[in-house]
Structure 1
Amino acid sequence: MTLLETHGLTRRFGGLTAVDGVEFRLDEGEIRALIGPNGAGKTTFVSLLSGRIRPSAGRVVFAGEDVTRLPAHARVMRGIAYTFQITSIFARMTLLDNVRLAVQRRMMRGWRGPDARALDAAAMAVLDRVGLADRATGIAGNLSYGHQRLLEVAMGLGLRPRLLILDEPTQGLSDAEIAGFVDLVREIARDATVLLIEHNMGVVMELAHRITVMEMGQILAEGPPEAIRADAEVQRAYLGG
């Protein structure tokens, strides 16, 4: 089943067309990688999906609903979580409190809000899921850059999204942490769809069901990893072939 699709999605910044008439479809339960050279339009594209910026033209449809004109917070409540959009960490707060904020947003019902014990339990479960439970009472700003990225992922998961968009999530992670992240994404994909912007091609080839390649604001190629690896145009534009 199609979870998200775009039709003629375009974004111009003055005389620059960063995203140019993109037709895109993402199926529910899929792990999709979005790759391309720097300046290809990847981050602008996912910012359009999440509502961080408005399109100059075109439409975004999520779960059958046209969400093109919805602001980012409304898309979050419908199940679109973009780590850079919603999860800037609060450096002076504990990891637990950071994740509590995301969980609280999801669990909020009426004016009373969630029960404190239920909120803490849900937040701890998310921290455990990303391997940060033993650091729950630590200050977020004291984390290494790589662990801050994992905290961002935890905050995204705290919203229990239908679509989780991850922008360069393995940047700053050690090889061992990257291996753990790959396992985590596979586990996340059991109950969510994942759209991943990633430059680590080992991670992309290992994780993605399908890969979308962007160049100059347009989709250059799309297909399973083996087809993308063999594509001459992709090798020319991105893989150095």
Structure 2
Amino acid sequence: MTLLEARGLTRHFGGLKAVDGVDFTLAEGEIHALIGPNGAGKTTFVSLLCGRIPVQSGSIRFDGADITRMPAHRRVRRGIAYTFQITQVFANLTVFDNVALAVQRRGGHLAEETQAALSRVGLAERAGQIAGTLSYGHQRVLEIAMGLALQPRLLILDEPTQGLANAEIETFKDLVRQIVPETTVLLIEHNMDVVMDLAQRITVLNFGEVLATGTPEAIRANPAVQAAYLGG
């Protein structure tokens, strides 16, 4: 089943064609990676999907409904959660309170659902710790817990392994595998080992356009992708 579908999605900034007529389909329950060179339009594209940046032309459908002009907060309520490229935790609050804010935003059962989200990502024992004192890796995991607390149908992760040690990356991969197929994951990632290990399908953006979409094997073997990004 198709969960999200974008058609002809466009966003220009002056003469820069950040996203230029992109067609994109996301299947429910999959891990789908979005890759491409720096400046390819990846973060702009997902910002269009989640409503942080308005669409200039084209359409977005989520779970069968047109959300093209829907504001970001309403997309969250419909089930789209987006974690940022740079950690966005509240450093002066406890781990528990960071997640509780996300639960409260959705109107859920505060203590029960907060604890469940923390347990899901392995942070239950750190619930009382001040978030700013966590290691960088644990802060990234906390950010995922905040996203999961919204109980999203779609979780968009923007460079989640940036700055993580190898052991932390393995923990992250295990976590992502655990949350599908209940939650669909769209992953923006430069670490190609992570992409090839996790993703069922990959879309490659280049100069704001889709260069290729396919399985990891097909993307790895694609000459155009090798020339533009993989360097092989």
Superposition TM-score, scaled by structure 1 size: 0.93
> 1:97-154 deviations in whole A, cap 9, x for unaligned?
0000111222x2xxxxx5xxx4212111111211211211111111222221111111
Instruction: Give the secondary structure class of the aligned counterpart of 2:161.
Output: coil
- Partner of residue 33, structure 1: 33
Is the CA contact (8 Å cut-off) linking 1:100 and 1:123 kept in structure 2? Answer: yes
Instruction: Give the secondary structure class of the aligned counterpart of 2:84.
Output: helix
Q: Which moved more, 1:118-127 or 1:184-193?
A: 118-127
5 Å-filtered alignment, 1:68-147, equals 68-84=68-84, 88-106=88-106, 108=107, 118-147=109-138
> 1:4-60 deviations in whole A, cap 9, x for unaligned?
011110001111110000011111011100000000000000000000000111111
Letter in 1 for 2:152: P
The alignment's C-alpha RMSD in Å is: 1.3
Unaligned runs of 5+ in 1: 109-113
C-alpha distance in structure 2 between counterparts of 1:20 and 1:146, whole Å: 34
Is the CA contact (8 Å cut-off) linking 1:100 and 1:119 kept in structure 2? Answer: yes
> 1:196-234 deviations in whole A, cap 9, x for unaligned?
001111110111000000000000011000010111111
**Does residue 1:229 correspond to 2:228, yes or no?**
no
For residue 164 of structure 2, the aligned residue among 173, 190, 203 is 173
Letter in 2 for 1:149: R
- Partner of residue 219, structure 1: 210
Unaligned runs of 5+ in 2: none
C-alpha distance in structure 2 between counterparts of 1:146 and 1:9, whole Å: 34
Query: Percent identity between the aligned chains?
Result: 69
Is the CA contact (8 Å cut-off) linking 1:147 and 1:173 kept in structure 2? Answer: no
Q: Which moved more, 1:119-128 or 1:163-172?
A: 119-128
Superposition TM-score, scaled by structure 2 size: 0.96
- Tell me how many residue pairs correspond in the alignment: 231
C-alpha distance in structure 2 between counterparts of 1:42 and 1:145, whole Å: 23
**Does residue 1:59 correspond to 2:50, yes or no?**
no
Instruction: Give the secondary structure class of the aligned counterpart of 1:29.
Output: coil
- Partner of residue 111, structure 1: none
Offset, 1:88: 2.5
C-alpha distance in structure 1 between counterparts of 2:49 and 2:153, whole Å: 13
For residue 231 of structure 2, the aligned residue among 215, 222, 240 is 240
C-alpha distance in structure 2 between counterparts of 1:218 and 1:188, whole Å: 29
C-alpha distance in structure 1 between counterparts of 2:50 and 2:221, whole Å: 31
Moved over 3 A (4+): none
Instruction: Give the secondary structure class of the aligned counterpart of 2:7.
Output: strand
C-alpha distance in structure 2 between counterparts of 1:55 and 1:22, whole Å: 11
> 1:148-195 deviations in whole A, cap 9, x for unaligned?
111111100000100000001111222111111111111111301100
